[in-house]
Amino acid sequence: MEGDADEQLTTIADTDQVNEMVIRERNKELRQVEGDVVQLEETFSLLANQVEAQRKLLDTADEEIMIAASEISNGTRSLKEAESYSRRFWGVIVGTSTAVVVGLGLFSAYLRSKDAKPVNNPEFTLEPADGDTNQ
């Protein structure tokens, strides 16, 4: 019986050693998993920060696009107003120029008609009208 007891003690000791090795291996694996989880958390944290930064950039870009669209709309409206003013301005310029040209033509015709009657030409002397006694 003593041999059986020694053999049982040896078996128990061997089983304890195996159990201890398994526990150490599991602890090592758990530490590795813990390290991987910490690294994964850091990666997700960095990713979240990058996503937040990108969101801010996209929000800013979106705001700039909205402002640009508004400015383009205002600019288009201003160009249409300027075109309208330009048409009216050129209409006034053309009308005024036409009036000046016609006026100058009439004035020139008037001056030519005055110059066409020589003062000392007997053909163009004015005879006093009947009843005019100043002569």
- Structurally, how many domains does the chain consist of? 1
Q: What is the pTM of this model?
A: 0.41
Whether 10 shows a pLDDT value over 90: the answer reads no
Is 77 a member of any domain?
Answer: yes
Is 64 a member of any domain?
Answer: yes
Is 19 a member of any domain?
Answer: yes
Q: Distance (Å, rounded) from C-alpha 28 to C-alpha 22?
A: 10
Q: Positive or negative, the Cα torsion across 12, 18, 24, 29? A: negative
Lowest mean pLDDT across 63-67, 98-102, 106-110: 106-110
Is 108 a member of any domain?
Answer: no
Across 25-39, average pLDDT: 95
Is 114 a member of any domain?
Answer: no
Model confidence at 134, pLDDT cuts 50, 70, 90, reads: low
CB 21 within 8 A of CB 27: no
Longest pairwise C-alpha distance within the chain: 186
Residue 1 DSSP SS3: coil
Q: What percent of the chain has pLDDT over 90?
A: 44
Q: Distance (Å, rounded) from C-alpha 135 to C-alpha 130?
A: 11
Res 135: pLDDT: 47
Is 96 a member of any domain?
Answer: no
Domain hosting 35: range is 7-83
